[in-house]
Structure 1
Amino acid sequence: MTEIKTLNTYSLWQLTLYFLRLGTLGFGGPVALVGFMHRDLVEERSWISEADYKEGLALAQIAPGPLAAQLAIYLGYVHHRILGATVAGLAFVLPSFVMVVALGMAYVSYGGLPWMQAVFYGVGAAVLGIMAIGAHKLSTKSIGKDKLLWSIFGVLAAVTIITQSEIAWLFIAAGLLVWVIRCKPSFGNKAMGLGLVPPVDAAQLAPVVLDPALLTQIGLFFAKAGAFVFGSGLAIVPFLYSGTVTEHHWLTDRQFVDAVAVAMITPGPVVITTAFIGYLIAGLPGATMAAVATFLPCYLITIVAAPHFKKWGKNPSVIAFVDGITAAAIGAIAGSVVVIAQRSISDIPTALLAVGATALLWKFKKIPEPLLVIGAALIGLVIYPLVSH
């Protein structure tokens, strides 16, 4: 008798190891990370169905908070519910948190990291290649040949490039548009709903030591960042700058730029830069508070909304709505590649690095991304001193 392969063929321990590995070796920001999850969990391992993945990506775009972390939490929930969501989220974030805190300790101890800009010079350009290939794979897999979805993709990509931000209501509008066109609903009936809860004040959850008032202030600020910024690191960076540099004067411009560089040269979610910023403000307690406050709202929102997505996920109206949001999300992701390229490509060497990284990943599909990042960092260390004078 031939054994029928089902999707739920993995243990919680296997899921934990996967997200620990992704959090340790996953470079490229949210665009690349959500692409890796699709490649690894949907295509190669068949742990997650295409429908579950698309539902998770849609929820991650509708709800506020860091995109890749929300998707990881949702995928953990699919077969292992709240325990799986909790373990997946912690395993995904913990490795980069440890790395960022270690870099923060070195930064404070040695008065800055002069080599960091050289590394960022190379890595920032190469990461564009990882992001571009990730966006391409997502679009071909999730959109296919649907002209309506490609139109939405194009509009959201253009809007993201022009405004240099992600406009949350456009994702929902895209979902509603596809729903109306495909399903021709009767508006007298309630077709769908999402159960979301307001964010919880994370300031009371981390150990309050040193200066309780400062730690509470850090918790409130980063909880707001996690609760009200949609999409990805692309959206949270200007919010963090206005709060940490302009409003609270916790960091200098130079320190903030270095914090963004740390986020790009470390694996895992880009938003983990909040832990580095928290460390510069108030040491390890500050780093812990900032990280918890940033990720807790999206965790709570995801586990509360996930049952509704699971319950209504097979409804044609929901499928149409999710397809529209998914196309919009991928369009915004593709647009963000262009926006980040405008900031990362500053001269001919960085342009060549970005094009070279893209070509390598296109030609050699199995090349390990961490190897590419290390190579780009070494090139940056060699070239940056030559072009910066």
Structure 2
Amino acid sequence: MDTAERPTPIALRDALRFWLKLGFISFGGPAGQIAIMHRELVEQRRWISERRFLHALNYCMLLPGPEAQQLATYIGWLMHRSWGGVAAGALFVLPSLFILIALSWVYVVFGQVPVVAGLFYGIKPAVAAIVVQAVWRIGGKTLRNPAKVPVLWSIAAISFVAIAFLKLPFPWVVLGAALTGWLGAKVAPAQFQGIGGPAHAQSTGGPALIDDDTPTPEHARFRPARLAAVLAVGAVLWLAPMGALVAWQGWQATLTQMGWFFTKAAMLTFGGAYAVLPYVYQGAVEQFQWLTGPQMIDGLALGETTPGPLIMVVAFVGFLGGWSQQVLGPEARFLGAALAAVVVTWFTFLPSFLFILAGGPLVESTHGKLHFTAPLTAITAAVVGVIASLALFFIAHIALRTGTSVAFHSRIDVAALALGGLAALALLRYKLGVIPVIAGCALAGLALRMAGWG
């Protein structure tokens, strides 16, 4: 393509082919997914300019929910109105949903086979290392110099203690952080200055279809009537399936409670999937007992090794919950589990679409204003402490061998801890990718199990 010419308008069907492709290649977590979209959309196809791409990304980083999926939704919406945004966001998720349903079935049916058990024995320490890396990465961006931002460090430390030791509910931690940020913007605004955005990549040197000077499309401008219409449609899309579940199985039924629980979880995903995982753990493992703690770690490993947003681990949680609770009866365990995965995915991602389609213009009007960004900065600081508590939980689960009654010091799983340490070194020091680290640990775990360890 001649870089001096502006690309021709893209038909919706051509855009859909790209969004479907993206759904199958979006590995590497949000950072990797955003990098793929930047390379494809800004550098190669020039559908959107560098500045407009980063502007859209900044919107998504201010919202709860998976920012990479929301970014795809936003760009699809900007290019092809609401249906374009819905299609882009849905195709970002659907391949991962079908893959995870298949892998979850393999897990529940063949998970105790020695080969599969050995692979997961090695994967668990890798997942613990990945969570430690998340603490390091998000903490490095958020907390910065402790001498300059002691308030943010204090928020992170208090959040860690509140979740790890006091067992306070995650929503209360988020609310406390938000109130602290709101007050802090008035009392100590320098402590809550916004986190720096991503570095600008090299300019592509040619005009983009949606360029810096391209006017905001008519459909993307704020209008109260349009906002009301989108919210009304969103309310129907939430109320209709929830009402159907209540009428079919009752409010206390597993599927209904999954829909309600993951609606609440979707509102709390500031800071990415790792931020909401402690809340999901509290509900799915401790409160409802849809799955066990070790199974939660296995689900996170599957989520890390499949395309799509990491929050898709909720599909694994839904599948195992539907399987264990036999939501459609013992004769239809797979169908019930698959239905539970679909229900969980629907209620988790519906708010993300509404945040973009309804709230995009509103977020744009408040972007960069400290009274709006300070609570989000405080929440992100709390997220560092919350993820640190999750890392502690994972490390504790891999540190001790199960199924033995010997003394405590003899139960310490040295091999698992060593694998976790090597995985952390590979991720933090040598910057290896998540997939190679998980694959290497999985093979090491298989070798250790075949040798009789664990």
Q: Above 0.5 in TM-score?
A: yes
Corresponding position of 2:70: 74
User: What pairs up with 1:229-268 in 2 under 5 angstroms?
Assistant: 229=265, 230-231=268-269, 232-241=276-285, 245=289, 256=292, 259-260=295-296, 262-267=298-303, 268=310
Corresponding position of 1:349: 415
Q: Structure 2: how far apart are the matches of 1:47 and 1:123?
A: 39
Indicate the SS of the match to 1:169.
helix
Indicate the SS of the match to 1:59.
coil
Corresponding position of 1:177: 183
Aligned-pair Cα RMSD in Å: 4.2
The CA deviation at 1:92 is: 4.3
Q: Is the 8 A contact 1:201 1:293 kept in 2?
A: no
Q: Is the 8 A contact 2:72 2:85 kept in 1?
A: yes
Corresponding position of 1:132: 132
Corresponding position of 1:202: 241
The CA deviation at 1:216 is: 10
Q: Structure 1: how far apart are the matches of 2:30 and 2:68?
A: 8
Match of 1:217 among 228, 253, 263: 253
Corresponding position of 1:149: 152
Deviates more, 1:134-143 or 1:341-350: 134-143
Corresponding position of 2:119: 119
- TM-aligned CA distance change 1:320 to 1:38, over 3 Å: farther
Q: Is the 8 A contact 1:201 1:223 kept in 2?
A: no
Indicate the SS of the match to 1:200.
helix
Q: Structure 1: which 5+ runs fail to align? A: 27-32, 61-66, 185-194, 207-211, 246-250
Number of residue pairs aligned between Structure 1 and Structure 2: 347
CA deviation string 1:114-158 (max 9, x = no partner)? 544433321111112222223322232344445143333333234
Q: Structure 1: how far apart are the matches of 2:30 and 2:369?
A: 24
- TM-aligned CA distance change 1:137 to 1:93, over 3 Å: same
Q: Which amino acid counterpart does residue 285 of structure 2 have in structure 1?
A: Y
* Matching of residue 17 in structure 1 with residue 83 in structure 2: no
Corresponding position of 2:427: 361
Q: Which amino acid counterpart does residue 264 of structure 2 have in structure 1?
A: F
The CA deviation at 1:240 is: 2.1
* Matching of residue 270 in structure 1 with residue 335 in structure 2: no
Q: Is the 8 A contact 1:125 1:354 kept in 2?
A: yes
- TM-aligned CA distance change 1:339 to 1:310, over 3 Å: farther
Q: Which amino acid counterpart does residue 354 of structure 1 have in structure 2?
A: G
The CA deviation at 1:183 is: 5.4
Q: Structure 2: how far apart are the matches of 1:291 and 1:159?
A: 30
CA deviation string 1:84-121 (max 9, x = no partner)? 65345434443443233224444566695454443332
The CA deviation at 1:359 is: 0.8
Q: Which amino acid counterpart does residue 102 of structure 2 have in structure 1?
A: A
Q: Which amino acid counterpart does residue 414 of structure 2 have in structure 1?
A: I
Q: Is the 8 A contact 1:97 1:275 kept in 2?
A: no
Match of 2:162 among 159, 181, 187: 159
Match of 1:299 among 349, 363, 372: 349
Q: Structure 2: which 5+ runs fail to align? A: 43-49, 191-227, 270-275, 304-309, 401-412
The CA deviation at 1:263 is: 0.9
Q: Structure 2: how far apart are the matches of 1:259 and 1:375?
A: 20
Corresponding position of 1:63: none
The CA deviation at 1:40 is: 5.6
User: What pairs up with 1:261-340 in 2 under 5 angstroms?
Assistant: 262-267=298-303, 268=310, 269-273=312-316, 274-279=318-323, 281=326, 282=328, 283-305=333-355, 306-307=359-360, 308-340=362-394
Q: Is the 8 A contact 1:107 1:113 kept in 2?
A: no
Indicate the SS of the match to 1:154.
helix
CA deviation string 1:265-305 (max 9, x = no partner)? 31243212212432452445423432332233343333333
- TM-aligned CA distance change 1:87 to 1:355, over 3 Å: farther
The CA deviation at 1:238 is: 3.5
Q: Is the 8 A contact 1:74 1:303 kept in 2?
A: yes
Corresponding position of 2:221: none
Q: Is the 8 A contact 1:76 1:84 kept in 2?
A: no
Q: Which amino acid counterpart does residue 200 of structure 1 have in structure 2?
A: L
Q: Structure 2: how far apart are the matches of 1:331 and 1:40?
A: 29
Please report the TM-score for the alignment, with normalisation by the length of structure 2: 0.62
Q: Which amino acid counterpart does residue 120 of structure 1 have in structure 2?
A: F
Q: Structure 1: how far apart are the matches of 2:337 and 2:350?
A: 20
The CA deviation at 1:381 is: 1.8
* Matching of residue 387 in structure 1 with residue 453 in structure 2: yes
- TM-aligned CA distance change 1:214 to 1:296, over 3 Å: same
CA deviation string 1:144-191 (max 9, x = no partner)? 44514333333323433324563332332243233223559xxxxxxx
Indicate the SS of the match to 1:387.
coil
The CA deviation at 1:375 is: 1.4
- TM-aligned CA distance change 1:152 to 1:237, over 3 Å: closer
- TM-aligned CA distance change 1:263 to 1:201, over 3 Å: farther
Q: Is the 8 A contact 2:132 2:424 kept in 1?
A: yes
Deviates more, 1:353-362 or 1:89-98: 89-98
The CA deviation at 1:336 is: 2.1
